[in-house]
């Protein structure tokens, strides 16, 4: 079966760094996405990885290892507005997205 695993909840301090992990087992792989979702709102795109390595975009970076079925999202210089759920999704062989349940990130002052 297809499975995306990520921690249910994480807590971090304002100004710090946090790493959110995602492991996956899917039928085929055509890329991995990270989305941010604030409570009561729609998911919004953060990053896309299809090759191994690190993609950096401002305070956010995403890493992929296809051989390990593993990705992480790294958030630096955390701000209160980063409190949200972070969703990991893998595009399978049919180009459909398989979604993890999301990681709720709580930022404390």
Partner 1 sequence: IAGITQAPTSQILAAGRRMTLRCTQDMRHNAMYWYRQDLGLGLRLIHYSNTAGTTGKGEVPDGYSVSRANTDDFPLTLASAVPSQTSVYFCASSGQDSNEQFFGPGTRLTVL
| Residue 106 CB neighbour total at 10 angstroms | 11
CA distances, 8 to each of 2, 27, 98 (Å): 18, 23, 17
Give the x-and-dash track for 11-50 against partner 1 (CB under 8 A).
-------------------xx-x-------xxxxx--x--
Q: Which of 26, 91, 103, 105 binds partner 1 (CB under 8 A)?
A: 91
Q: C-alpha angle 41/42/43, rounded to 5°?
A: 125
Write out the binding residues for partner 1, residues 44-83 only, by CB under 8 A. Answer: 44-45, 48
**Measured distance CA(68)–CA(23) in Å, rounded:** 8
The stretch near partner 1 (CB under 8 A) out of 18-26, 51-59, 60-68, 87-95 is 87-95
Distance CA 30, CA 83 (A): 29
Stretch that binds partner 1, among 11-19, 54-62, 66-74, 89-97 (CB under 8 A): 89-97
Contact between 33 and 91 (Cβ < 8 Å) = yes
Stretch that binds partner 1, among 10-18, 53-61, 63-71, 91-99 (CB under 8 A): 91-99
Interface residue list for partner 1 (CB under 8 A): 4, 30-31, 33, 41-45, 48, 87, 89, 91, 95-102
């Amino acid at each position: 079966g297809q499975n995306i695993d990520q921690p249910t909840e994480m807590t971090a301090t304002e100004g710090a760094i946090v790493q959110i992990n995602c492991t996956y087992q899917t039928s085929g792989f055509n890329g991995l996405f990270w989305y941010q979702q604030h409570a009561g709102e729609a998911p919004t795109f953060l990053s896309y990885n299809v090759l191994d390595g690190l993609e950096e975009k401002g305070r956010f970076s995403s890493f992929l290892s296809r051989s390990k079925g593993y990705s992480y999202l790294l958030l630096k210089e955390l701000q209160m507005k980063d409190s949200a759920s972070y969703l990991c999704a893998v595009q399978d062989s049919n180009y459909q997205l398989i979604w993890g349940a999301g990681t709720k990130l709580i930022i404390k002052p």
